[in-house]
Amino acid sequence: MKVVNVNEITKYYENKPENLIQILRDIHQKQTYISIEQLQEIAQDLKIPPTKVYSAITFYTLLSPKPKGKYVLRICSSTPCHMAGSQDLLDYLKQKLKIKDGETTTDALFTLETTSCLGLCAFAPAMMVNNKIYGNLTKEKVDQIISDYQKGKEKESDCLKVNILNRGKEVILKNCGVIDPESIEEYKTKGGYSALSKVITKMTSVKVIEEVKNSKLLGRGGAAFPTGLKWEFTFRTQEKPKYIICNADEGEPGTFKDRLLLEGDPFRIIEAMTIAGYAVGAEYGYIYIRGEYEISIRRIKTAINKARESNLLGKNILGSNFSFDIKIREGAGAYICGDETALMESIEGKRGIPRLKPPYPPTSGLCGKPTVINNVETLANIPDIILNGANWYNKIGLAESTGTKIFTILGDIKNPGAAEIPLGANLKEVIYEIGGGIVGGKKLKMVQLGGPSGSTLTANMIDIALDYKILAQAGLTLGSGVVLVFNEDRRIVDAVRSMIHFFQHESCGKCTPCREGTKYIYEILDKITLGEGKVGDLNTLKLLGENMKDTSFCPLGQSAPNSLLNTLKLFPEEYTKLIKN
Ligand SMILES: Cc1cc2nc3c(=O)[nH]c(=O)nc-3n(C[C@H](O)[C@H](O)[C@H](O)COP(=O)(O)O)c2cc1C
Ligand code: SF4
């Protein structure tokens, strides 16, 4: 193991305990685990108990207190990769390397693990080796990757270009794949930073908030809360300092819309955060990016530096009295940190355990101070709303669901990829016209909308508008915008088992219904798929799922059984068939 100088890293982060997770991430960039001696050094430098450091290391999957191989192979096991054969690849690697899942080869070169979604769903199956990512894997490609690493050739990440469908009418994706994402000049030639300049020179904070409120923009992170209202609540809270957080932890399996924006148009996100800071009176911003998004982290770092050099971040922006700066915080492999309260715990250097709400972030957020927390896609809308006005924005989409939404269209679909579409588009048209229909001309069996915590639709239910209100009236949610398509040959119970496996892995463990419920449900589903299920299992599954929904502490546990309960209702024969056989 390459031994890093821990003191240099803790000193760089000013020995502040709130930087603990970032310090641990930085150490893991250079070595694959943290030794007990290093753990004690960190605790000493930050003046915190060693147990606090240990508790953080053992919470996040990208951190480890135990030695691992030089290269950690993490095979994505979430549903889109599962559908594309990730289990076969895992079995192949186990055989090839002669180790089990979680073990290290005797030469200490490779450790084999599974991981939750890597955001490479359009290139499933995928894997990560240390922090490099590879997609469209086949056994031959895996052989080549392993052989290169055995020879000491550390391969660059695959440069995988997502297929952006329905091009030509985008609002927020229009620069992606068109401009050089590292060039602030190119961003400016496309109108970049005109909105910030307009805000600073011509608008008061109240006017900016009014414009965002009038646009009726709803948060795109899943909860669809009105963005303008969130900003107004934070503006009205008198306490200082105030914070802007961009939630770039995107971990919902099947979702990679934020990655497209972070990689393809990073200045847009930085500009939007700065406008949010101006609107609510915040001087500090954090962008929390999941650790698996190596390229996004790199691009955002470059964008922040270039914006600072151009006086578009930092003190007295564009010669005004307004100062605002942004720090990056990297996630360390925990889906729960996408939840806004868990995310703030993580930025404060702790395990990502959700907080009780209320209070809500606008009154008591990061370090107990007023905080706006917005999703990447939500923020991406801001510059255009400011430049073109709320009236212009209201003309896109429907009356109550304005603007566009990025959908990631995946699974058994002819043209997998991402598409930015006005809200209110018909799901059937999205699948058959934009997505090109089902691969091999097969029939559609099921659509999982919004990821594993979202909604389940049968083929008869897809003639519906993708609109927050209309879907809610039908008891459905849009979630993060995943459209995962299953053909007639898919075994629904396998898919549900894979979704529950995800939640079992990602449960933070704080409350019993979610911690134990996900485990118990997974075990029963596993038995059923192996043909060892009993008739009474279905009732047990239903009771467990309903109990989790009613009694779990946070939305993760409350939504984890969605796919199970929905499919028990919509596809009961899929379960009984397996049990009877
Ligand atoms: C388990 C869980 C995971 C979440 N993951 C994300 C995420 O990856 N990105 C995100 O923006 N919001 C996520 N959210 C929603 C956030 O808590 C929050 O509502 C959102 O960041 C607010 O931004 P918005 O108003 O712009 O949507 C998650 C919520 C839960 C409960
Ligand atoms: S519901 Fe699950 S994720 Fe949420 S607090 Fe409970 S154990 Fe943690």
**pLDDT tens track for 36-63:** 999 999 999 999 999 999 999 999 999 9
Which of 339, 346, 547, 552 gets mutated to test ligand 2 (max ligand atoms within 8 A of its CB)? 552
Answer for the pair 393, 403: CB distance below 8 angstroms, yes or no.
Answer: yes
Helix intervals (H) in 381-477: 382-388, 390-394, 427-429, 468-473
pLDDT digits (tens, 9 = 90+) for 286-316: 999 999 999 999 999 999 999 999 999 999 9
Indicate if the pLDDT at residue 2 is higher than 90: no
**Residue 159's pLDDT is what?**
76
What is the rounded average pLDDT of the residues 261-267? 98
pLDDT digits (tens, 9 = 90+) for 439-462: 999 999 999 999 999 999 999 999
Indicate if the pLDDT at residue 572 is higher than 90: yes
Q: Is 354 in the pocket of ligand 2 (CB under 6 A)?
A: yes
Q: Which atom of ligand 1 is nearest to the CA of 248?
A: 9
For residue 413, what is the DSSP state?
Answer: B
Q: Which atom of ligand 2 is nearest to the CA of 506?
A: 3
Most confident of 115-119, 439-443, 577-581: 439-443
- What is the residue with the minimal CA distance to atom 30 of ligand 1? 339
Q: Which residues contact 122 (CB under 8 A, 6 or more apart)?
A: 135, 160, 162, 163, 256, 408, 410, 416, 417, 418
Kindly report the number of other CB atoms within 10 A of residue 510's CB atom.
17
- What is the residue with the minimal CA distance to atom 6 of ligand 2? 511
What is the rounded average pLDDT of the residues 460-480? 96
What is the residue-wise DSSP string for 157-220?
PP-PPP-EESTTS-SSSTTTTTS-TT-HHHHHHTTTTHHHHHHHHH--HHHHHHHHHHHT-B-T
Q: How confident is the model at residue 1 (pLDDT cuts 50, 70, 90)?
A: low
What is the rounded average pLDDT of the residues 269-275? 99
**Residue 4's pLDDT is what?**
87
Q: Which atom of ligand 1 is nearest to the CA of 506?
A: 1
pLDDT digits (tens, 9 = 90+) for 350-386: 999 999 999 999 999 999 999 999 999 999 999 999 9
CA atoms within 13 A on the CB side of 138: 2
Indicate if the pLDDT at residue 169 is higher than 60: yes
- What is the residue with the minimal CA distance to atom 1 of ligand 2? 557
**Residue 224's pLDDT is what?**
95
Centre of ligand 1 from the C-alpha of residue 154, in Å: 34
pLDDT digits (tens, 9 = 90+) for 378-423: 999 999 999 999 999 999 999 989 999 999 999 999 999 999 999 9
Centre of ligand 1 from the C-alpha of residue 338, in Å: 5
Q: Is 515 in the pocket of ligand 2 (CB under 6 A)?
A: yes
Type of residue found at 531 = G
Strand order across the 325-330 sheet? 325-330, 284-289, 243-248, 371-375
pLDDT digits (tens, 9 = 90+) for 170-213: 999 999 999 999 999 999 999 999 999 999 999 999 999 999 99
User: Any idea which ligand is nearest the CA of 554?
Assistant: 2
Indicate if the pLDDT at residue 126 is higher than 80: yes
**Residue 154's pLDDT is what?**
85
Q: Which atom of ligand 1 is nearest to the CA of 255?
A: 8
Type of residue found at 514 = C
Centre of ligand 2 from the C-alpha of residue 564, in Å: 18
Centre of ligand 2 from the C-alpha of residue 379, in Å: 27
**Residue 177's pLDDT is what?**
95
What is the rounded average pLDDT of the residues 492-509? 97
Centre of ligand 1 from the C-alpha of residue 551, in Å: 20
In the beta sheet, which residues pair with residue 165? 419
119 dihedral zone (left: phi>0; alpha: psi -120 to 50; beta): left
